[in-house]
Structure 1
């Protein structure tokens, strides 16, 4: 009986392909949109992700996300270093400065000023050059996406891509010279601005118009001590906010979710994809069942139980759903892979997202099978023979 059910499904190629395409389109929307949302949300704490060495981030109590920064007095650094349980603490400057390109155009870029002695907070992966080269005069390191994108040297010819920055090129930051000594990989920021790395003392020179420049204090708890307990101790002793890296990520993410409409917008698109997928797939599958209703009537007259007929319909629906979901997830994975060749947002399709999307597609398939099964289970065999 199951083989006959499959022959019925494959025999009507038009409706079979229609069901698969409908489920595939729903799968693409259900997988792709959450993937874009999760990628964008991960960029809200990209700075914390890239700077993985410190356990604790210390900042002004009014700072809400890693994209936000409020300057501290330099004396706060020494207070944090004196807290019991702190192994080391280093400064980090984070600010948005104006960069003048070779053709005179201006671009805003994020500058990170690293501790002069240790260079903690620097990029983990260098494409060209070395992190230690930041100690050279006027040295800066540029992230790869910025070097190939907004900071690239324009050719002046429409439609042509700019020439990526190379080691040895020069920039002008707030009317001061900067020499590119390295290209590094970095997670894009939420605003996708270029990222420049330099030393803390040199960042003071580039941002001389600002009175206070200490944006964050990066600290490490002594071995064997709980970083959360040390962070609470720092907060009590200094009246500053101190969070572990995980807490700071959660704080940044919560602020973005509660103060933007991204979750609602992407959720609405996913809901529309789910409803449309259910409607289209259910309608096509229902018409497929109606076309084969006489066969189900014959099976029922020959003694097939309702359970057997229901299993046949479920087999047809689940097989079509598996084919459609496989096609949709494959297309989405190929699209995500294509984004890794660019310089901006790189989509990731993880196993939890695929499992959740698969569950949503399963609900679509079961809904389609339910409406079709009702017609078959209520069918009287005599009606088939009368017609």
Structure 2
């Protein structure tokens, strides 16, 4: 058995061009699977980045809300009612709306998400927000998300140079007085943060009495689940009570189950798996066919079919490992390229590396099992 691994490698290395083609095909399959899974996770992560960075224990939303992109408002009175529940430390109303940002250079408009709240209350743990909260107390002042799409203009560069950045949002002149980091998502390609009063200046048809999200923080040491139970019993059914984690799941489940995004990227991963399996099968089948006489000779010498099968499987294993390495290395560069080009949070994770490596092994082993049928054709009687 000790000779099996060298034999498998020598057979693969004998045809260097064929080996290179095989590794290139497997590497392509690895890239395809890893990119599909990376895109899927990056989009889902971006979709809940807003939710994850909220400083809250409990969230109130309208039950008719399906996603942040289609949020429904509800009466602010519900938040005041929640403030009277035992264990509640503070409540904060949050206002969301979509306006049209005018690129100060090209003058083209693009939809942007505007987030408004009382600047005297800490709402986000996002980098940059806390430093500029006093700025948005001023009329028509906003904070700009530096991870927004580049179509909004060179706002970040101009601000960091110390230039005055002014433009229009929904026909009203605003000034950028700070930067924060959130990033593009399914809901919006860009984001602004301002005060609740400034948001009403942009949308005069709105009132402070109708809010989009209610944030509730409980007192230290108080059990969040018990407060949630009390809120569900106390508040009418025109609001939905969620934990922060439940709010994150609520958004993610919408994009996973109510859209075709999950299906599309899963299908792309399966296609990469199938493409790789076909390539490996063709390589192994051709290799076995070229060495059929040698396999027949080994049979005549007394080697069992089990040994010959193990040689094919070891070839499959070698191809899987050698093909995975360049595919993984190229994906590191592609992930950075996607991050820089789209502002999506696309990062390599250990779980994804292990998942794709296991899929690559399965892909090659299945191809090897199918190619074993060719080994059965190695009959010593045909050779001697």
Q: For 2:94, what is the secondary structure of its paired residue? A: strand
In structure 2, how many angstroms separate the alpha carbons of the residues matched to 1:84 and 1:61? 24
* Alignment-derived partner of residue 231 in structure 2: 234
Ranges in structure 2 where 5+ consecutive residues have no aligned partner: none
* Alignment-derived partner of residue 270 in structure 1: 269
**TM-score, with structure 2 as normaliser:** 0.89
In structure 2, how many angstroms separate the alpha carbons of the residues matched to 1:114 and 1:370? 61
Q: For 1:224, what is the secondary structure of its paired residue? A: coil
Per-residue CA shift, 1:131-181, capped at 9, x if unaligned?
Answer: 4332334321100033x623216xxxxxxxx88442631122334332211
In structure 1, how many angstroms separate the alpha carbons of the residues matched to 2:61 and 2:326? 47
In structure 2, how many angstroms separate the alpha carbons of the residues matched to 1:163 and 1:78? 38
Task: Assess, with a 3 A threshold, how the Cα gap between structure 1 residues 67 and 123 changes in structure 2: closer, same or farther.
Answer: farther
1:339-358 map, 5 Å:
339-358=338-357
Q: For 1:125, what is the secondary structure of its paired residue? A: coil
In structure 2, how many angstroms separate the alpha carbons of the residues matched to 1:109 and 1:311? 59
Report the RMSD for the aligned CA atoms in angstroms. Answer: 2.3
* Alignment-derived partner of residue 221 in structure 1: 218
Q: Given that residues 15 and 285 in structure 1 are in contact (C-alpha distance below 8 angstroms), is that contact kept between their aligned partners in structure 2?
A: no
In structure 2, how many angstroms separate the alpha carbons of the residues matched to 1:298 and 1:50? 67
Q: Given that residues 83 and 90 in structure 2 are in contact (C-alpha distance below 8 angstroms), is that contact kept between their aligned partners in structure 1?
A: yes
**TM-score, with structure 1 as normaliser:** 0.89
| 2:13 equivalent to 1:10 | yes
Q: Given that residues 45 and 67 in structure 1 are in contact (C-alpha distance below 8 angstroms), is that contact kept between their aligned partners in structure 2?
A: no
Task: Assess, with a 3 A threshold, how the Cα gap between structure 1 residues 370 and 331 changes in structure 2: closer, same or farther.
Answer: same
Q: How far is 1:123 from its partner?
A: 5.6
In structure 2, how many angstroms separate the alpha carbons of the residues matched to 1:129 and 1:56? 25
Task: Assess, with a 3 A threshold, how the Cα gap between structure 1 residues 11 and 116 changes in structure 2: closer, same or farther.
Answer: same
1:184-199 map, 5 Å:
184-199=180-195
Report how many aligned residue pairs link the two structures: 374
| 2:47 equivalent to 1:41 | no
* Alignment-derived partner of residue 244 in structure 2: 245
* Alignment-derived partner of residue 24 in structure 1: 27
Q: Given that residues 255 and 262 in structure 2 are in contact (C-alpha distance below 8 angstroms), is that contact kept between their aligned partners in structure 1?
A: no
1:254-265 map, 5 Å:
254-265=253-264
1:84-95 map, 5 Å:
84-95=86-97
- Partner residue of 1:176 out of 156, 172, 175: 172
